[in-house]
Amino acid sequence: MSEIQMPRLSDTMEEGVISTWVKNVGDKVASGDVLVEIETDKAVMEYEAYEDGYLVKQSVSEGETVPIGAVIGVIADSPDAVPEDSGDGGSEPEAAPAEEEQGEKAEEIQEAAEGTEAESAGESAASSGDGAARPRTSPLARRLAKEYGLDINRIQGSGPKGRIVRADIEAAREGGAAEQAAPAAQPKEEAKPAAEKAATAPAFDDGRASEELKVSNVRKVIARRLTESKQTVPHFYLRRTIDAEALKAFRAQINEQLSSTGVKVSFNDLIVKASATALKLHPAVNTSWVDDKLLQHHRVNVGVAVAVDAGLVVPVLHDTDKATLSEISTRTRELAGKARDGKLKPQEMSGGTFSVSNLGMFGVDSFSAVINPPEAAILAVGAMRQEPVVVDGEVVVRNRISLELSVDHRAVDGAVGAAFLKDLAEILEEPMRIIL
């Protein structure tokens, strides 16, 4: 009998959400079968079984969030096997169902990680001798009730032995605490404390007609990581506009040669490959500052930012400097499609040493990108524009592209970043250097 634990599916993952159980309790499982789909900080990923057997327990329900390492299920040799802590075959009839009990344990693990040991201790005291004074609740339920401004004493629990769980708090929030309270526990209106009366007063209408939207785990982690990046990484920015006439002609020539293969190289593919070429010339930019240590990366892995419904994900093209333009084009489109379908594998989003973010297709002239830690730099690419410029003493119209490099000043000095951007611009203006 083997426990299935919440895996670490990305280098930044701290917790995961059970999105969908693909296998049900009692189903036969073969090594390599998809057991469950897990929403991480980057995408929804499939988690495969590593052994043959039968799924005999789902410890965590769909929609639940648990930390890495928490038990989410059990695989056994027989479909009739009973996990030791399931509460079946020898436990008293009133014992809590295994799924609910394990779900509450997962909630307590999550709550403890946030530093609420004191609250857990308080609940133990209440259940051991002061049960009449305080309802049975999970730590997560108490925290949510506090966040939502609800009186937990007026909420009726639906969990084992009347325990108040997260679902009860959410229901109380939607329908009002009064509707969730047990009839016997309803206090008289005149006996309500002033603070409780204030809590039930109509909320102030700010005139914005706001609605709270459901926030995905991906969006939460994006918000946290970008905040950390701007607060902890000292960004500096370098800007340069390139003449794209030669690049445009080079792309047309390459695509003509590839016409029989069905592969079509984009401007972004050319910029990604040129970035990899420049990183080989300037290895000091292909670094990371981690825990007061400077790491030099000997592989060039360029991440390509892809916009999806849940936010922004960055699949990684490993060994970009060694890949051909057709390989970069094919692989980028494959990864972008998987990103939009939420099917990226952990290794396809890990190990980036540099990133490219292109908003030119949206008509954006230029922008400043936020560094994707632990990488030391990210290149922001704007739209190609026709602009009047002076060439050989005459004003002519040329296609031009704005580039902006965001750099981590802890790892890369200004002169080093400037030299990198200079060579990158020259490679794009003399695009034969991309394939030489």
The residues, ordered by sequence, that sit 6+ positions from 211 with a Cβ below 8 Å of its Cβ are none
- Across 119-133, 244-258, 355-369, least confident range: 119-133
Largest CA distance in the chain: 93
Is there a domain that residue 124 lies in? no
- Across 39-53, 78-92, 239-253, 383-397, least confident range: 78-92
CATH number of the domain that residue 11 is part of: 2.40.50.100
CA pair distance 299, 321, nearest whole angstrom: 8
Which strands sit side by side in the sheet containing 2-5, from one edge to the other? 2-5, 71-76, 53-58, 28-29
Q: Could you tell me where the beta strands, DSSP code E, fall in 93-248?
A: 235-243
Q: Give the chain's mean pLDDT.
A: 82
Mean pLDDT of 394-410: 97
CA pair distance 141, 156, nearest whole angstrom: 12
Residue 341 predicted with pLDDT over 50: yes
Contact 428, 270 (CB under 8 A): yes
- In this structure, is the dihedral angle defined by the CA atoms of residues 105, 107, 113 and 115, taken in order, positive or negative? negative
Q: Hey, is 147 helix, strand or coil?
A: helix
pLDDT of amino acid 78 = 82
CA pair distance 130, 123, nearest whole angstrom: 9
Residue 381 predicted with pLDDT over 60: yes
Residue 386 predicted with pLDDT over 90: yes
Q: Hey, is 76 helix, strand or coil?
A: strand
Single out the residue in 53, 76, 99 at which a domain terminates.
76
Q: Could you tell me where the beta strands, DSSP code E, fall in 227-369?
A: 235-243, 287-290, 293-296, 302-304, 306-308, 311-313, 316-317, 354-358
Domain that holds residue 64: 2-76
Confidence of residue 195 (pLDDT cuts 50, 70, 90): low
Tens of pLDDT, residues 149-193: 888 888 888 776 677 877 788 888 877 544 444 444 444 455 555
Residue 339 predicted with pLDDT over 50: yes
- Using a 10 angstrom Cβ sphere, with 0-12 exposed, 13-18 middle and 19 or more buried, the burial of residue 250 is buried
Residue 315 predicted with pLDDT over 80: yes
Is there a domain that residue 163 lies in? no
Contact 404, 237 (CB under 8 A): yes
The residues, ordered by sequence, that sit 6+ positions from 115 with a Cβ below 8 Å of its Cβ are none
pLDDT of amino acid 149 = 83
Tens of pLDDT, residues 279-291: 999 999 999 999 9
Domain count, the chain: 2
Whether 297 sits among the annotated catalytic residues: the reply is no
Single out the residue in 76, 100, 125 at which a domain terminates.
76
Confidence of residue 134 (pLDDT cuts 50, 70, 90): low
pLDDT of amino acid 101 = 46
Give the residue from 424, 423, 313, 432 showing the smallest Cα distance to 372: 313
CB atoms within 10 A of CB 167: 15
- Across 108-112, 172-176, 344-348, 375-379, least confident range: 108-112
Mean pLDDT of 210-238: 86
Confidence of residue 232 (pLDDT cuts 50, 70, 90): very high
Is there a domain that residue 201 lies in? no
pLDDT of amino acid 261 = 93
CA pair distance 396, 391, nearest whole angstrom: 7
Give the residue from 179, 163, 109 showing the smallest Cα distance to 131: 163
Residue 19 predicted with pLDDT over 90: no
Catalytic option among 282, 297, 318, 409 = 409
Is there a domain that residue 343 lies in? yes
Single out the residue in 22, 44, 76 at which a domain terminates.
76
% the chain with pLDDT above 70:
78
Q: Which of residues 348 and 113 earns the better pLDDT score?
A: 348
Confidence of residue 114 (pLDDT cuts 50, 70, 90): very low
pTM above 0.85, yes or no: no
Confidence of residue 116 (pLDDT cuts 50, 70, 90): very low
Is there a domain that residue 358 lies in? yes
Residue 211 predicted with pLDDT over 60: yes
Is there a domain that residue 26 lies in? yes
The residues, ordered by sequence, that sit 6+ positions from 392 with a Cβ below 8 Å of its Cβ are none
pLDDT of amino acid 85 = 55
pLDDT of amino acid 184 = 45
Residue 123 predicted with pLDDT over 60: no
Residue 196 predicted with pLDDT over 60: no
The residues, ordered by sequence, that sit 6+ positions from 342 with a Cβ below 8 Å of its Cβ are 43, 44, 45, 308, 310
Element (H, E) at 199: helix 194-199
pLDDT of amino acid 63 = 84
Cα 237 to the center of its chain, rounded Å: 26
Mean pLDDT of 57-68: 89
3-state helix, strand, coil in the chain (%, to 5): 40, 25, 40
CATH number of the domain that residue 357 is part of: 3.30.559.10
